[in-house]
Copies of this chain bind each other. A is one copy, B any other.
């Protein structure tokens, strides 16, 4: 009798995993993913991307039509979500168990996500009591690849007068995250939108007593839920 659950010990290269993750992230926003966009995201030349696309296509992780971009197959998506799950679990673990700041976790998780075992994944998952979001409010995919999309809207789209709660920050730049922290913008912080300048101008708001304003671009990376709406 053979051992049954002898799980999946490192089947894909780090490079392959990184490509799949990048494709996943791009396609959830843009549908299908072009070579150039992917190349930009990966910090590589388009030529390198094309070559990898052929490989991923050959091993059935993506559907690839020459000149027309790429989508993950079900198999490819499984792999991508597994890596993203590793990443987000690690981020949360680093915060909770080791006292990392939310600005530091991305870089560390980026490296470790490819190298932890299923055992490790399960243990930190249990230790964190099966969490559903990471320190930036991103959903942690479940073991079987389900990911519940978050409910918030970009702060940039909130109206003046609204009172909202921060539920997600879609940015991993440590500088940006530290800046936001300094303004008191952490997860679950409640803020009141006081003003929106026209022509894509800055958004002004209050957190507690303090008033701040940030640019529209940055505000589009901060996701919020309306406290009234949320209750409904």
Stretch at the interface among A24-32, A116-124, A195-203: A116-124
State the Cβ distance, A124 to closest chain B Cβ, in Å: 7
1/0 per residue A69-98: CB within 8 Å of B? 000000000000000000000000010011
Knowing A104-B119, A119-B104 touch, does A127 contact B98 (C-beta < 8 A)? yes
A112 close to B (CB within 8 Å): yes
Interface size class of A (residues with CB under 8 A): 10 to 19
Copies in the complex: 2
Q: Is the CB of B111 within 8 A of A98?
A: no
User: How far apart are the CA atoms of A99 and B97 in the complex, in Å?
Assistant: 14
1/0 per residue A157-190: CB within 8 Å of B? 0000000000000000000000000000000000
Knowing A97-B97, A127-B98 touch, does A116 contact B120 (C-beta < 8 A)? no
User: Which of the residues B97, B98, B111, B123 comes within 8 Å of A115, measured between beta carbons?
Assistant: B111
User: How far apart are the CA atoms of A98 and B124 in the complex, in Å?
Assistant: 7
User: How far apart are the CA atoms of A169 and B102 in the complex, in Å?
Assistant: 39
Residue of B nearest to A122 (CB): B98
State the Cβ distance, A68 to closest chain B Cβ, in Å: 36
